[in-house]
């Protein structure tokens, strides 16, 4: 509490990040137990004291007249949104009896907790994980509703799922590079303050900014150079850059030898690494290099890897081998600037210039985020980007004067009883099969929390017609009757962010408390409280003692967070401690080789050991495509918080209805002018909305921003057009992604609703 007098209280809290992970600090002014104003709160660094229009408008969420005010049960058909008020006791009794029956018939694992990603709260998420772990039910991961391509790609090349520290951790610490390459990301709209502000600050300090994107975005409008490419061709573009870098011999051999597996010999007959067993040493699994000074093979050691050959072809015991980097170079041979230009639509000279700039500039940072990987092969696109960064030495491997990454005590949530098995884990795209076909096992009940599943997941008609009807029981915690909530059997009212406390480990390198500002309105409760009260009835109450505050204490109970407490966080953001002078925090690669894996042996059988270019599964990249010649993508709008909150009036005043952006060339071909009502369609559905004719999208591309509610469209919706095809390689690596930016459509002037 910053100020306290009879009339006015000012409480420091934090935006739970309607933009992902930025988490701006907020001062809430409270009068007569009502929040009357939000403003930015102080940060240790004045540059971070900011708030955007989404953060400001979140007060409208709290006091929105349409809030769900009490528990309700369905009385009409699913989808009709006919509900009747019930008590919390009745709600809990219904849940317990349904869960008991389903668990007796199918086992607890047939109950799935489908947890979304809005905001950065940890206890609301952790509480569900803890209960899922105690009941050994199924936690359905939401990575796959658009974001799983990123961890899939990062796991292969870095060995863990967050590539950020390696790519732009130092940028987050305001250490400006000479060149900033923003690839497939639009922070000006998706992360406007803590991230885009840094982009602009870097630019003011002399950083050259290049944006690579199929759309001429707001971020692109602030860049020194914009490179527009066709959707889904990023890995071809990466290979084209590498082609130039290899041909001009301007890669960084020292970095490649020390930090990547580029020097390890690969058998050309099997595609697997040459191992100790192939040369009959005692250690069967060691890697082998070709040692330049002695012109002979050697077991790879730290002492000799600096002298390893990176190119050429060698024979070891009659086995033909090449260094992994040579395999990569061989792959890039076909991606001449001319061919790369044909695939990506980027001019030849731009490809050559950018490759040279990346390789010859001292400090280059690559910035990307989730949207980049929302194509069928988005995981490989990410590997392509990281491979370019790695062969030129622009990956951060340690922070010599930086900060430790945020640490959380997450184990009590992942495994509440250490000696017992934990929850089952399932990707959200795999959930479709688990419900519809009962494979790999049946899911009969789902609990949706902070997720607008129907609105935001692919192939809406499949969800409505095949998925929902197969479920025995649907519970949802929500603030509003969203398109998904209309299908719930039981609706439980949850608090807005001003009505409960949570721990936010953002924006990096800060920790913050989302402090409860007012008591819960109506009969709403926080997710953590709902879980705790349900757990009590399931005889797991002892694991939730202290409610949401107890859970926060559990999370921050970590040796590296000594001195951090709820009380200290109430005063303001806490900056993670700098390392001791001269300290060095190594960022380790948890890959099989312990290095950046330019060559991924585990994907040899899948044909993806290298970051190959595989065309989009659906999005057309050639104008010769006849039936559905346009590629549909969906960007993020700065005028919307999460899709759960697509009903905030002040943001609707600025952006009142869904629109589709279409290039003038494509519009003219179809006799479409700015503001016309048009229908976007494919074999799955039709979606009708207003057209905006703009050169902001490339010819052949349509863009509809995501997050609009189904009922805000004149017909259909964005995700009626998308598909739920599973990429088996992503399924094998981690979990399959939904490929919202890999969709083929056609466009026409609206001719009336189709019967």
Q: Residue numbers of the site for ligand SF4 (CB under 6 A)?
A: 15, 17-19, 22-24, 51-52, 54-55, 192-193
Q: How many other β-carbons are positioned within 10 Å of the β-carbon of residue 404? A: 15
**Residue 216 preceded by cis peptide, ω within 30:** no
Distance in Å, CB of 43 to ligand SF4, minimum: 11
Residue 32 near residue 5 (C-beta atoms within 8 A) = no
Q: Are 321 and 314 in contact (CB under 8 A)?
A: yes
CB of 120 to ligand SF4, least distance (A): 8
Say whether the peptide bond before residue 148 is cis (omega within 30 degrees of 0): no
Q: Which of 634, 629, 624 lies closest to 661 in space, CA to CA?
A: 634
Q: How far apart are CA 239 and CA 243, in angstroms?
A: 6
- Minimum distance, C-beta of residue 703 to ligand SF4, in the bound complex (Å): 21
* Strands laid side by side in the 445-449 sheet: 83-85, 72-74, 490-493, 473-478, 445-449, 111-115, 138-141, 424-427
CB nearer to ligand SF4: give 111 or 196: 196
* Residue 701: its H or E element: strand 701-704
Helices (H), 53-87: 53-62
Q: How far is the CB of 501 from ligand SF4 (least distance, A)?
A: 17
**61, 50 Cβ separation under 8 angstroms:** no
Nearest CA among 397, 410, 728, 460 for reference residue 595: 397
Compute the distance between CA of residue 744 and CA of residue 374 in angstroms, rounded to an integer. 14
3-class SS of residue 566: helix
CA pair distance 726, 428, nearest whole angstrom:
11
Handedness of CA 342, 345, 347, 352 (dihedral sign): negative
Choice between 61 and 667, CB closer to ligand SF4: 61
The rounded distance, in Å, linking the Cα atoms of 23 and 2 is 19
- Which residue, judged by CB position, is nearest to ligand SF4 in the bound state? 55
Q: Residue 390: how many CA atoms within 13 Å on its side-chain side?
A: 29
Least distance (Å) between residue 503 CB and ligand SF4? 15
CB of 642 to ligand SF4, least distance (A): 10
Dump the DSSP string for 246-286. HHTT-S-HHHHHHHBSTTSEEETTTSSBPBGGGGT-SSTT-
CB atoms within 10 A of CB 254: 9
Are 143 and 332 in contact by the 8 Å Cβ rule? The answer is no
CB of 55 to ligand SF4, least distance (A): 2
CA distances from 295 to 151, 306, 465, 569, 716 (A): 39, 14, 65, 60, 65
8 A C-beta contact, residue 590 and residue 160: yes
φ, ψ dihedrals at 744, nearest 5°: -105, 135
CA angle 140, 377, 697 (to 5 degrees): 105
Instruction: Read off the tokens for 92.
Output: 């809990």
Nearer to ligand SF4, 54 or 394 (CB): 54
Least CB distance to ligand SF4 at residue 25 (A) = 9
- The answer to whether residues 410 and 422 touch, using CB atoms and an 8 Å cutoff, is no
Residue 58 or 261: the one with the smaller Cβ distance to ligand SF4 is 58
Q: What H or E segment, with its residue span, contains residue 547?
A: helix 547-556
Contact 58/38 with Cβ under 8 angstroms?
A: yes
User: What's the min distance (Å) between Cβ of 54 and ligand SF4?
Assistant: 4
Q: How far is the CB of 191 from ligand SF4 (least distance, A)?
A: 6
SS (H, E, C) 394-443: CCCCEECCCECCCCCCCHHHHCCCCCCCCCEEEEHHHHHHHHHCCCCCCC
Residue placing its CB nearer to ligand SF4 in the complex, 59 or 382: 59
- The token pair that represents 400 in the structure block: 């010599």
- Mapped onto helix, strand or coil, the DSSP state of residue 83 is strand
Query: Is 371 strand, coil or helix?
Result: helix
Cβ-count burial of 604 within 10 angstroms (0-12 exposed, 13-18 middle, 19+ buried)? middle
Relative to beta strand 701-704, strand 630-633 is parallel
Q: Which residues contact 101 (CB under 8 A, 6 or more apart)?
A: none
């Amino acid at each position: 509490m910053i100020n306290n007098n009879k009339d006015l209280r000012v409480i420091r809290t934090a935006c739970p990040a309607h933009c992902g992970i930025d988490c701006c600090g907020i001062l809430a002014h409270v009068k007569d137990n009502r929040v009357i104003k939000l403003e930015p709160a102080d940060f240790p660094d004045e540059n971070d004291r900011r708030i955007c229009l989404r953060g400001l408008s979140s007060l409208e969420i709290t006091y929105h007249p349409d809030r769900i005010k009490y528990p309700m049960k369905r009385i009409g058909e699913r989808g009709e949104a006919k509900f009747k008020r019930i008590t919390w006791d009745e709600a809990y009794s219904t849940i317990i009896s349904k869960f008991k029956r389903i668990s007796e018939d199918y086992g607890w694992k047939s109950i799935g907790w489908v947890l979304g990603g809005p905001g950065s709260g940890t206890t609301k998420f952790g509480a569900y994980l803890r209960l899922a772990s105690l009941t050994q039910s199924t936690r359905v991961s939401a990575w796959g509703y658009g974001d799983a391509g990123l961890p899939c790609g990062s796991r292969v090349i870095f060995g863990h799922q967050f590539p950020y520290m390696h790519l732009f951790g130092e940028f987050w610490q305001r250490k400006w590079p000479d060149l900033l390459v923003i690839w497939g990301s639009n922070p000006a709209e998706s992360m406007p303050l803590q991230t885009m502000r840094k982009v602009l600050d870097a630019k003011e300090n002399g950083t050259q900014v290049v944006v690579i994107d199929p759309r001429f975005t707001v971020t692109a409008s602030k860049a020194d150079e914009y490179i527009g490419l066709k959707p889904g061709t990023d890995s071809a573009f990466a290979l084209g850059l590498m082609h130039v870098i290899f041909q001009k011999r301007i890669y960084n051999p020292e970095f490649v030898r020390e930090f990547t597996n580029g020097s390890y010999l690969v058998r050309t007959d099997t595609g697997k690494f040459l191992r100790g067993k192939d040369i009959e040493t005692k250690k069967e699994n060691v890697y082998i290099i070709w040692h330049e000074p002695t012109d002979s093979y050697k077991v790879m050691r730290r002492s000799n890897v600096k002298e390893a050959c990176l190119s050429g072809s060698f024979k070891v015991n009659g086995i033909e081998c090449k260094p992994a980097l040579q395999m990569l170079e061989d792959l890039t041979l076909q991606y001449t600037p001319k061919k790369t230009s044909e695939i990506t639509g980027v001019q030849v000279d731009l490809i050559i210039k950018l490759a040279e700039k990346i390789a010859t500039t001292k400090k280059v940072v690559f910035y990307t985020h989730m949207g980049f990987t929302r194509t069928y092969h988005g995981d490989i696109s990410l590997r392509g980007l990281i491979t370019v960064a790695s062969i030129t030495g622009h990956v951060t491997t340690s922070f010599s004067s930086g900060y430790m990454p945020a640490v959380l005590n997450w184990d009590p949530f992942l495994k509440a009883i250490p000696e017992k098995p934990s929850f089952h884990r399932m990707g959200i795209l795999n959930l479709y099969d688990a419900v519809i076909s009962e494979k790999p096992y049946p899911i009969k009940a789902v609990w949706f929390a902070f997720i607008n599943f129907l609105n935001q997941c692919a192939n809406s008609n499949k969800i409505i017609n095949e998925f929902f009807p197969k479920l025995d029981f649907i519970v949802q915690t929500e603030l509003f009757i969203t398109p998904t909530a209309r299908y719930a059997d039981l609706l439980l009212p949850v608090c807005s962010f001003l009505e409960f406390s949570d721990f936010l480990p953002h924006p990096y390198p800060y920790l913050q408390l989302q402090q409860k500002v007012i008591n819960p309105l109506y009969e709403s409760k926080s997710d953590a409280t709902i879980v705790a009260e349900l757990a009590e009835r399931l005889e797991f109450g002892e694991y939730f003692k202290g409610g949401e505050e107890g859970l926060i204490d559990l999370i921050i109970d970590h040796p590296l967070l000594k001195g951090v407490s709820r009380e200290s966080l109430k005063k303001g953001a806490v900056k993670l401690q700098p390392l001791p002078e001269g300290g060095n925090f190594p960022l380790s690669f948890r890959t099989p080789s312990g290095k950046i894996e330019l060559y991924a042996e585990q994907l040899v059988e899948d044909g993806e050991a290298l970051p190959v270019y595989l065309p989009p599964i659906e999005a057309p990249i050639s104008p010769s495509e006849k039936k559905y010649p346009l590629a549909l993508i969906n960007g993020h709008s700065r005028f919307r918080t999460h899709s759960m909150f697509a009903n905030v009036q002040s943001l609707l005043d600025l952006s009142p209805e869904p629109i589709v952006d279409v290039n003038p060339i494509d519009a003219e071909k179809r006799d479409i002018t700015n503001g016309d009502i048009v229908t976007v369609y494919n074999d799955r559905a039709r979606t009708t909305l207003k057209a905006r004719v703009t050169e902001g999208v490339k010819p052949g591309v349509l863009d509809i921003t995501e997050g609009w509610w189904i009922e805000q469209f004149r017909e259909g919706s964005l995700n009626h057009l998308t598909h739920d095809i599973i990429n088996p390689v992503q399924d094998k690596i981690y979990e399959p992604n939904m490929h919202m930016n890999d969709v083929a459509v056609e466009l026409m002037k609206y001719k009336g609703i189709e019967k």
